[in-house]
């Protein structure tokens, strides 16, 4: 019998918003699919760090950081950023949950205009 992937609950501070993400989705893609605006400059291509997100809890519930994500973080924010629990929401792939992250500016998409 095929087991359906369990949805993962993601809570975003400081707005105290919650949304569901499917394993394999990025944080940003899952938020967009649930009608949320997530700040980005490059449109989720992993070239900027506008979507930089602090992982408050559940860091092990994300796929390991790729070389490309690490390269962008270091190039844009310096080596010291790697000592923090931060990820690019457009690159951070959800494996499980629950997750709690912090990112200012996340809000319902209709409020973003």
Which stretches within 1-113 are classed as H helix?
A: 27-33, 67-77
> For 82-95, how does the pLDDT look when each residue is reduced to its tens digit (9 = 90+)?
889 999 999 999 99
In the chain, the DSSP E strands lie at 8-13, 17-21, 36-37, 52-57, 86-88, 99-102, 107-108
Angle, alpha carbons 22-26-4 (nearest 5°):
15
- Tell me the domains of the chain and their CATH numbers: 8-111 (3.10.20.30)
pTM of the model: 0.90
Segment 14-39 shows an average pLDDT of: 96
pLDDT of 5 > 80? The answer is no
> For 29-73, how does the pLDDT look when each residue is reduced to its tens digit (9 = 90+)?
999 999 999 999 999 999 999 999 999 999 999 999 999 999 999
């Amino acid at each position: 019998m095929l087991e359906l992937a369990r949805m993962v609950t993601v809570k975003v501070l400081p707005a105290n918003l919650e949304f569901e993400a499917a394993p394999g989705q990025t944080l940003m893609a899952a938020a967009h699919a649930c009608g949320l605006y997530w700040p980005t400059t490059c449109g989720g291509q992993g070239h900027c760090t506008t979507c930089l997100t602090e992982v408050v809890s559940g860091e092990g519930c994300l796929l390991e950081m790729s070389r490309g994500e690490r390269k962008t973080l270091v190039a844009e924010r310096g080596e010291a950023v790697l000592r923090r629990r931060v990820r690019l929401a457009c690159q951070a792939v959800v494996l499980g949950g629950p997750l709690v992250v912090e990112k200012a500016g996340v809000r319902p998409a209709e409020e973003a205009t």
